[in-house]
Amino acid sequence: MPEKNIRMLDNALIQLQNVAEVLELDQWIHEMLKKPERVLIVSIPTHMDNGTTKVFTGYRCQYSTARGPAKGGIRYHPDVTLDEVIALSMLMTWKCALVGLPFGGGKGGVACNPKEMSENELRRMTRRFTAMILPLIGPDKDIPAPDVYTGPREMAWIMDTYSMLKGYSVPGVVTGKPLNIGGSLGRNIATGRGAAFVLFESLKHFGMSPSNVTCAIQGFGNAGSVAAKFLYKVGTKIIAVSDSKGAVYNKEGLNPKKLLEYKEKTGTVVGCEGCETISNAELLELECDVLIPAALENVITEENAANINAKIVLEVANGPTTVEADKIIYERGIFLVPDILANAGGVTVSYFEWVQSLTTWLWTKDEIITRLEKIMQRGFRDALTVAKEKELDMRTATQVLAVERVSDAIKTRGLFP
């Protein structure tokens, strides 16, 4: 099992322990919240194009349904493990509670390398995976969505498989669907856009203006590139971006639109004209106002936290900072906006999509962006208030707020039987 995944679950449990102490959480609620409600491990035999049959392993975890149906993405990545899925589903529980969505938290994943699979192989694997997790998912039970290396295409396959097996169309079973089968306007840009809204609030808090700051972004996928485009539009100087192949840097600023065009042609941002090539590790240590880790987890660690040279760290990826690094960052006076707040825009517009699917009533893009902005601003304000009142770092403050809401829901419902 990749070491980082064990660490991720450990990190999440240590954070929960801290929060339990701050909240003086009842012992039995703490015990409950240390474990997921339910997990399913499935085997996914899939016919490959070369005539062989490969058996993949998949997971779906419902961490908590205290506040509503489980909600969270499905990830395709070679490093996916049960521990990682559990840790990510715990984060989803806090994330939904923090921004006040009527959802619990869930997550799923398949250990596979989508970069080495054809579209047909991915389709067959996704359909079989859906059939295997069918007992868990459903619009009132558990609603999957995109995550790392999954998107609207995979959501369409899941929606269709589920619908075929039920015998009628069930668009509310997933979010992040393509627009023509009940997807929502603005869902594809929601994570990046939401992150930008939270960044604006953070900058306002420090009396800084988005048009007067520099920013480095690790990860140029859906979230990172949308945030980059949006920030560029308001005058932020994007000095570096990266993908899995490496990073590009120009202290005078980069144009995300050009980088995207280049990446579309070549598969990477590395080599784009007018930029210096640096490594992903070097990007994290660049001098800038805002550092945005928007790739994978555990990239800011004990080893490099002392060298982070930014005023604000905006965690667009899930779990990019280890517990040890968190402490160093806080002690150094760097303002860290944690993942469950910074990237909550995705699941927020997923909520809007789910509501639209259930009510068969479509919202305009303006309605969606305006509501998203309000929810992100409120999330930031609520967290900052707790941070100030209780003298906590933003990570602990957001989790204190979220865990308290989940704990209250458990108490309000009472225990069955």
Minimal distance, residue 137 CB to ligand GLU, in Å: 12
Taking the least distance from each CB to ligand GLU, the nearer of 122 and 259 is: 122
Name the closest residue to ligand GLU (Cβ).
73
**Calpha distance 244→221 (Å, rounded):** 10
Give the CB-side neighbour count of residue 369, counting CA atoms within 13 A. Answer: 12
Taking the least distance from each CB to ligand GLU, the nearer of 145 and 392 is: 145
Count Cβ atoms below 10 Å from residue 70 Cβ, excluding itself: 29
Minimal distance, residue 315 CB to ligand GLU, in Å: 11
Minimal distance, residue 95 CB to ligand GLU, in Å: 6
Taking the least distance from each CB to ligand GLU, the nearer of 318 and 357 is: 318
Taking the least distance from each CB to ligand GLU, the nearer of 90 and 145 is: 145
Residues 107, 177, 237, 263: which is the catalytic one? 107
Quick one: tokens of 25?
């959480």
Strand partners, 108: 60, 74
Taking the least distance from each CB to ligand GLU, the nearer of 123 and 187 is: 187
Question: Which stretches does DSSP call E strand in 260-355?
Answer: 276-278, 290-293, 312-314, 335-337
Would you tell me which residues interact with ligand GLU (CB under 6 A)? 71-73, 145, 147, 175, 318, 343, 346-347, 350
Backbone φ/ψ region at 51: left (φ over 0), alpha (ψ -120 to 50), beta:
left
**Calpha distance 70→224 (Å, rounded):** 26
Q: Are 191 and 346 in contact (CB under 8 A)?
A: yes
Minimal distance, residue 154 CB to ligand GLU, in Å: 12
Q: Is 107 in the active site?
A: yes
**Calpha distance 196→373 (Å, rounded):** 9
The separation between CA 158 and the C-alpha centre of its own chain, rounded to angstroms, equals 20
Map residue 105 onto helix, strand or coil: strand
Count Cβ atoms below 10 Å from residue 123 Cβ, excluding itself: 18
Taking the least distance from each CB to ligand GLU, the nearer of 173 and 239 is: 173
Quick one: tokens of 95?
């994330």
**Calpha distance 141→135 (Å, rounded):** 10
Minimal distance, residue 183 CB to ligand GLU, in Å: 12
The separation between CA 266 and the C-alpha centre of its own chain, rounded to angstroms, equals 26
State the distance between the two ends of the chain, measured CA to CA, in whole angstroms: 37
Minimal distance, residue 351 CB to ligand GLU, in Å: 8
Give catalytic residues, as residue numbers.
107
